[in-house]
């Protein structure tokens, strides 16, 4: 089994891509969200492998609620903001 130049280029491209993806998430609040999602998925996989039925049920319920709320993300973002992306105020719609 030999390593060709294309194998090295492939590995370098994947490494650079992973670096930029990790840097993108690390510098933003989305990084904490992504870490939480990864943790939940890993815990769910581990609980299924170890046949922990109650924990698996709870984690599956959390994941299914997350999937449902992901469809409502735009509404949640608008409700959570006090100003619009353009800088206009939502004072009439938000309660402080």
What's the pLDDT at 11? 92
Per-domain residue ranges for the chain? 5-80
Report d(CA 56, CA 46) in Å as an integer.
9
Name the pTM for this structure.
0.47
Q: What does the chain come to in residues?
A: 96
Question: Tokens representing 56?
Answer: 């698996």
Q: Which of 21-30, 42-51, 61-70 has the highest mean predicted lDDT (pLDDT)? A: 42-51
Mark residue 51 as left, alpha or beta (left: phi above 0; alpha: psi -120 to 50; beta: remaining): left
Report d(CA 79, CA 73) in Å as an integer.
10
Q: Give 14's pLDDT tier (boundaries 50, 70, 90).
A: very high
Half-sphere exposure (Cβ direction) of 80: Cα atoms closer than 13 Å = 6
Q: Which residues pair with 83 in a beta bridge?
A: 89
């Amino acid at each position: 089994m030999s390593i060709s130049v294309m194998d090295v280029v492939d590995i370098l491209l994947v490494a650079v891509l992973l670096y930029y993806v990790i840097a993108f998430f690390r510098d933003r609040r989305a990084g904490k969200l992504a870490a939480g999602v990864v943790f939940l998925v890993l815990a769910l996989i581990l609980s299924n492998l170890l046949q922990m039925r109650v924990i698996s049920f709870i984690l599956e319920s959390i994941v299914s609620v997350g999937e449902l709320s992901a469809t409502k993300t735009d509404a949640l973002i608008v409700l959570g903001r006090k100003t619009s992306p353009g800088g206009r105020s939502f004072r009439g719609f938000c309660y402080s």
